[in-house]
Structure formats: structure tokens, C-alpha cells
A and B are shown apart, each in its own frame.
Chain A
Amino acid sequence: MGVLDIAFLVSALTIAAPILLAATGELIAQRAGVMNVGLEGVLLAGAFAGYLTMTRIDNQALGFLGGIAGGLLLAALMGVLAIEVKVDQIVAGIAIGVLGTGLTSFLDQHFVPEPRTFTPLPRLSVPLLSDVPVLGEVLFHQDLFIYVTVALVVLAGLAMYRTTWGINLAATGETPIAADAAGISVRGVRWAAVLIAGAFAGAAGAYISIGDVGVFREAMTGGRGYLAIAAVLFGSWRLRGLLAAVTIFAVTDAVQLRLQSLPTVPGEVWGVAALLVAVGVARSRRPRARLIGAAVLLGLVALAVLRPQLTLPASLWLAMPYVLALVALAAGRASRHRAPSALTVPYIRSEA
């Protein structure tokens, strides 16, 4: 398979897991009507709190708990601002982002002047299943965080689509007045959703610092929080769409990582891109979009066959996931119409 081998798939999973967990939490919060644009800051808080715990008590379980606590702290601030004080959620999110970045680098410079490195999470093999060729190596020989993430996402899906709580959640985000009239505590549901989002993002942040690489650096989450928000929007506020979006982002990111070390762009990349576009064209219903898609497809197939000696500087590869997220959002079919109606709207009973 050349470039796209087993190690590549493993790295894609490692990149996807924290984004997926943070995005799932954000999805829950947004379905309740609270949007936290400062998710990046929450991730950083989790990453730093986990790292700080590790420098004091060298225990990974406690490190992750510390990360979750850090995420909860900033999420609670978001909750106070958005649910209690009822300020503009977008501006509150900006504040959370600035605060998360500033506070983590301030505390890092002061409390951990000498950077330390810890061993990342060990990989665990699932007996029997990990012996399956390729798939076993990729899916069943991972660290605990990835298994837990999968379990949590499945649980979140069940909670959102198969329980009364999930219906209450959607009602709170769509028409809080109706939810309130039906006896659902709008405040309670929103707080629960915001705190779940904070805990998920905190754990994801801790994975980025102590779980995956074992160090903390200033602003090390590198825009993953923004990608998570983009995934929620691109997925039209549904778990299935979110999974597709995270997969695309993670694969691009992994390709980018791999290609940085290669002199030229290998033909497989064009082939995979062509495949993705083909799927998009097949699913699209608008004739104009199909025409454009078909043209792009032809170009990509030509590139895959001809294999020109193209090079792209590393920085531009790094920008790829973001560009792709933008293209995905632009191509999304009027996704804003599927947003929860009360997203970013505070609920004030006396004005309802």
C-alpha cells in the first residue's frame, strides 16, 4: 500500500480520537442550545491540568482525572456566563478561548519551569481480536483512551437518540419554552450538557498532552478545538455526520503528517482524494454540484495516473485539514437550517 499502510491508519486513529471525543461533547452542548466557541481553550485547560497533575503525582489515571477537572473548570465558567448570567455566548466563548490559552501558558511558565516528559499511554491488545491481520493491528492494539472514547461516543449516541433524556436535550435546544412547559428544567439540562462537554474536552486535552506525546507545550492543541466545532457544524448536529467529518479531518491530518517527510506527493493520495470526491458526487443531488464534482474527479484521476513530481511545503500541508474543513462546510447543504433553533439563545423565562 506504500504510504497508506498500517502505521498510517494507526496515526489517523490517534489523531481522530481526541477530536471525536471533544466534538461529541460539543454536540451534546449544542443540542441543548449552548455553543462554546472557546473549545480550544477548554482542550488546553485539560491538557495542562493533566500535565500539571502528572508533574506532581506521577499517575496516569490521576492525570486524566486532573485533565477532566481542568476542562470542567472552564466549562463551568462557560455555564455561569451562558446559562446563569445569560451573556452573548459567542463573546463568552472568545473569552474562554483567550483565558484558556493565557492561563495555561502563564501557569506552565510558573509551576513547571523545567519541561518534563512522561511515557505515553501503553497500548493494550484485545486477546484474539488483535491477531486479525491489518484490522486487528489497527483497531484492537490501541491505548485505553481510544477504547474508552469509542465506548463514550456509543453511549452518547444511545443517550441522545434512545432515551427520554435525549429527547429532553433536543427539546431544550429547539424550543426551550415548550420544554419548560413540559416540566423539563431547561437550566438543569443545559448545565448537564455543558459539563459533559467540559469533561469530554478535558479528557481529550489530557490525551493530547500526557496520553499521546507525554509533554505540554504552549497552545499545543493546535486548532483541534476549532476542528471539533467545525465537525459538529459539518455533521449538521447529528452524530453520524460528526463521525464522517472527524474521519475526513483525521485522515487528512495523518496524510499531511506522512507527506511532510516525503519529497513528492505520491499517486495514492490523489487516488484516495478521487474516491472521496466520487462518493460526494454520488450522494449529491444538485446538478451543478455534480458537474463541478465530476470535473474535480477527472482532474484527480489524471493526477493519480500521471503521478507528477509535485511538492508542497510542510506548512501548507499543515493548513490542509482546515482548508478541507472550510470546503466541507461550504459544500454542506445549507447546514444552518438544521441547527438547533435555540442555539446561542439564552432562555429567559419572563421573556418567553
Chain B
Amino acid sequence: MTAAAGLIRRDRGMPAWVGRVVTQLGVAAAALVVAALLLLVIGVSPVDAASAFWSGTFGSPTNAGTTLTQAVPLFLVALGWIVADKAGRMHVGFPGQVVTGGCAAAAVGLHSGGLPGVVAVVLCALAGIAGGALWAGIVAWLWASRGVLEIVSSLLLNLVALQTLAWLVRGPLQGSLDRQPQSANFPASALWPAVESVPGRTLSYDVILLPLLAAGLIWVFARTTFGFELRASGGNLEAARWSGINPVRQGVTAIVISGGLAGLAGAALLFAGSAPWLSEGFEAGIGFNGIAVALLARNSPVGAILTAIVFSSLNVGGTSLQALLDVPSSLASVLQGAVIVLVLVAAVLAHRRRRAAPIKMKELVA
């Protein structure tokens, strides 16, 4: 019965994208209201805050470069969520996978000083992907062969990854001269190249990953057998099984790929970021915020580019708000949480209004 309702719902063609844009704008407006209220509560004028926010995020080429570069890790995690979610697997191990990916990339990067730049960059990226994918592989294995809910195992593995990072930066990878819990600086040849003409070289070339990966993912989902099988196992399990698709294998693949994307995000954070060394807090909430980025984009890879930039400007702007107006920087994470709630509610409300009409059709069919 639910499947039939789904078919009927998908039938209406006309205002689908209009409705979607209106919902998105509504969510953005509501989030702005929440932000304004929070600012008023702590006694900061929202107008001052808005101008400080703009100058911190897009006010100069340097700041705009930072904002765009910091959108890349968020976008990669969002793609990871989209891949896993399309296959019906909802894991939340991104923080852990970002951390393990970053650690693996750092371990390789620290020892690649003698290699030519291109080789070092590619090796670091691959190490990041491998680190994230391996960590996600544990989640996938626990789910597929031990029946452990992927959401719980991934939450616990996040905590294990954080402790492992804390150990690495104090033990094997500790390398700063003043015995701080952080690694030595990465060799300059391993750092990812940045656009020379932007002052401060804040715009890393890895921003080309945004359009490339979005297009690639859309192609995989729309045009390849693999993408179809992935979506099929996330849709109707029975139907997938009857068409000879193994949903468990697809689920495992999806989780591992999403871990690889998160691991690459970890490498990007370190090698295209402002601090070229491994430290305890380098993950900076990217793992959970990436999920919010994907949700806000309604699981659309192209939409995720835009929402990743919005979220990264929240992070970057939040820092400048703290510097200029003494607003606590955790304002950004409050807003990010609020955005998830608003998106959820908006999606359900829009869905309900659309469903009002087809119910009559359902009665006709019955």
C-alpha cells in the first residue's frame, strides 16, 4: 500500500522544483531568524553581526578563498552520506572516518618529503581514502555479518578514533619541537597546491573536486549498473533481491565508499587547510556537519556544493564574529543543529501537503 502511494506521489510533475526551492528558502529564512534571536539574546546587533559575517566570509579574495576551500571537506562528507543513504545505510561514522583518514594521510605525508610534489599529493589523498574506508569497513562488517546496527557501531568507533588520534599526536606521530600534542609540519612538497593569485594562497586547487565529484556521482547513480543496484538496495529490498541484487553486498560497498570519501575529507582538512600539521582538534565537527549539508541539499550532489559553501561560511564567519564582536563561535554549531531540525520538519510538512490530493485517488483505486 505504501509503495502504491509512493508511485502516485511521484506522478505529479508540475511544481516539484518550485516547491523544493520555496521550502529551502523557508528553511534559510527560519535559520536566519534563529540566528538573529540568539544574537539578540546575547546583546549583539544582528546588523553589526551580518556585516562582520560578510567581511569575514566573502569580503576579500583571501577570505573567500578560505570559505571555498573549507567547503571541500564538508562537501566530501556530504557525498559520503548521500552514497550510504541511497543504499539505505544510515551510518554516522563520518567524524571517526575523517579522523582515521587524516591520520593515515598525515603518516604518509610526514614521510614523503623526498618525493616529487605530484606523487606525494596523490599518495596522501590515497592514504586518506584508505584510512577512512578501512574504518568504515569495520562498521560494514559488523552490520553485514554480526547484525550490529551501523548507527551504534559507527558512533562508538568515532570515540575510538578520537582516542587513537589523541594517542598518535602524543606518541608515534608527535613531532612539534615544544612537545605540544601535534605532529611536525608536513613537508611543503606534500601540501596541496593553491591558486597563486589569491593573496595568502587560501584557495586550494582541491575546490575543483566540488563540480567534478558532484557530476561523477550523478553519472554513477543515473547511468551505471552499479549505481542502479545501489539505489535498488536502498529502495525496495524484496524487489532488489528478486532482480538478483545482493542488498547486503551493496550496503557494505556503500558504507566503505562513504568512508573513503570521509577519509579524503580528512586528508583535505590537513593538506589544504591553514594548519599543515596533525593535531587533536583537526576534525572540527566536519563529520556531523557534513550530514547536515547533505540533508539541507535533500541528498542532491549539486545542491550539496551550495549548502557546503553555506555551512563553511557559517564556520568561517563564526570565527570572525568571535574575533570582532565576541560572539561565542559555537553559534555556528547551534545553527547547524537548528538547520537539520528545520529541514526535517519542512520536508515532512511539504510532503504532507502534497499528499493531500492523492489520498482521494487512493480511495478511487481501492
Partners in one complex: yes
On A, residues with C-beta under 8 Å from B are: 37, 77, 81, 85-88, 90-92, 94-103, 105-106, 109-110, 218, 223, 226, 229-230, 233, 313-316, 318-319, 322-323, 325-326, 329-330, 332, 334-337, 350-351
Q: Does B36 contact A (CB under 8 A)?
A: no
A102 and B336 in contact (CB under 8 A), knowing A86-B348, A94-B288?
Answer: yes
A91 touches B295 (CB 8 A): yes
A98 touches B348 (CB 8 A): no
Q: How far is the CB of A227 from chain B (nearest CB, A)?
A: 8
Residue of A whose beta carbon sits closest to that of B156: A322
Q: How far is the CB of B350 from chain A (nearest CB, A)?
A: 12
- What 0/1 pattern do residues 299 to 335 of B give for CB contact below 8 A with A? 0000000000000000000000000000010111111
Residue of B whose beta carbon sits closest to that of A38: B337
A85 and B163 in contact (CB under 8 A), knowing A94-B340, A326-B156, A336-B149?
Answer: no
* A247 to B90 Cα, complex, angstroms: 29
* A99 to B348 Cα, complex, angstroms: 20
List CB contacts (< 8 Å) of B125-171 with chain A: 142, 146-149, 151-153, 155-157, 159-160, 163-164, 166-167, 170-171
Nearest 7 Cβ contacts at the A-B interface: A99-B337, A102-B333, A109-B328, A319-B163, A315-B167, A95-B340, A98-B337
Q: Does B1 contact A (CB under 8 A)?
A: yes
Q: How far is the CB of B327 from chain A (nearest CB, A)?
A: 9
* A101 to B331 Cα, complex, angstroms: 11
Q: Does B345 contact A (CB under 8 A)?
A: yes
Residue of B whose beta carbon sits closest to that of A339: B149
A319 and B159 in contact (CB under 8 A), knowing A77-B341, A106-B330?
Answer: yes
Q: Which residues of B contact A223 (CB under 8 A)?
A: 156, 159
Q: Which residues of A contact B345 (CB under 8 A)?
A: 81, 85, 87
Interface residues on B, range: 35 or more
With a 10 A CB-CB cut-off, give which of B92, B152, B292, B328 has the most chain A CB atoms: B152
A109 and B330 in contact (CB under 8 A), knowing A92-B344, A99-B337?
Answer: yes
Q: Which residues of B contact A92 (CB under 8 A)?
A: 341, 344
A315 and B156 in contact (CB under 8 A), knowing A99-B337, A106-B330, A106-B331?
Answer: no
8 Å CB contact of B142 from A86, A322, A330:
A330
Q: How far is the CB of B22 from chain A (nearest CB, A)?
A: 18
Residue of A whose beta carbon sits closest to that of B42: A110
A103 touches B337 (CB 8 A): yes
Q: Does B225 contact A (CB under 8 A)?
A: no
B152 touches A98 (CB 8 A): no
B333 touches A105 (CB 8 A): yes
Q: Does B243 contact A (CB under 8 A)?
A: no
Q: Which residues of B contact A226 (CB under 8 A)?
A: 152, 155-156, 159
What is the interface of chain B mostly: helix, strand, loop, or mixed? helix
A326 touches B341 (CB 8 A): no
Residue of B whose beta carbon sits closest to that of A103: B334
Q: Which residues of B contact A334 (CB under 8 A)?
A: 147
Residue of A whose beta carbon sits closest to that of B145: A330
Q: Which residues of B contact A351 (CB under 8 A)?
A: 1-2, 5
A229 touches B90 (CB 8 A): no
Q: How far is the CB of A20 from chain B (nearest CB, A)?
A: 18
A229 and B148 in contact (CB under 8 A), knowing A99-B341, A106-B334?
Answer: no
B348 touches A105 (CB 8 A): no
8 Å CB contact of A90 from B142, B148, B151, B332:
B151
Q: Does B38 contact A (CB under 8 A)?
A: yes
8 Å CB contact of B328 from A37, A105, A325:
A105
Q: How far is the CB of B86 from chain A (nearest CB, A)?
A: 15
A326 touches B142 (CB 8 A): yes
With a 10 A CB-CB cut-off, give which of B38, B90, B171, B341 has the most chain A CB atoms: B341
* A96 to B288 Cα, complex, angstroms: 12
Residue of B whose beta carbon sits closest to that of A87: B344
B333 touches A230 (CB 8 A): no
Q: How far is the CB of B311 from chain A (nearest CB, A)?
A: 12
Q: Can you list 13 residue pairs at the A/B interface with Cβ under 8 Å?
A: A37-B92, A91-B295, A95-B337, A98-B289, A98-B292, A100-B337, A101-B337, A102-B332, A233-B148, A316-B164, A319-B163, A322-B159, A330-B148
Q: Which residues of B contact A95 (CB under 8 A)?
A: 337, 340-341, 344
Q: Does B338 contact A (CB under 8 A)?
A: yes
A329 touches B159 (CB 8 A): no
Beyond the given pairs A91-B291, A313-B171, 4 more chain A to chain B contacts, judged by CB atoms under 8 angstroms and listed by A's residue number, are: A102-B334, A322-B157, A322-B159, A329-B153
Q: Does B347 contact A (CB under 8 A)?
A: yes
Q: Which residues of A contact B336 (CB under 8 A)?
A: 98, 102
8 Å CB contact of B167 from A96, A316, A325:
A316
8 Å CB contact of A99 from B155, B156, B171, B334:
B334
Q: Which residues of A contact B171 (CB under 8 A)?
A: 313
* A70 to B153 Cα, complex, angstroms: 27
A94 and B92 in contact (CB under 8 A), knowing A319-B160, A330-B142, A351-B2?
Answer: yes
A91 touches B344 (CB 8 A): yes
Residue of A whose beta carbon sits closest to that of B337: A99
Q: Which residues of A contact B344 (CB under 8 A)?
A: 81, 85, 87-88, 91-92, 95
Residue of B whose beta carbon sits closest to that of A86: B348
* A335 to B253 Cα, complex, angstroms: 23
Residue of B whose beta carbon sits closest to that of A336: B147
- What 0/1 pattern do residues 180 to 196 of B give for CB contact below 8 A with A? 00000000000000000
* A96 to B337 Cα, complex, angstroms: 7
* A336 to B142 Cα, complex, angstroms: 12
Q: How far is the CB of B251 from chain A (nearest CB, A)?
A: 14
Q: How far is the CB of A292 from chain B (nearest CB, A)?
A: 13
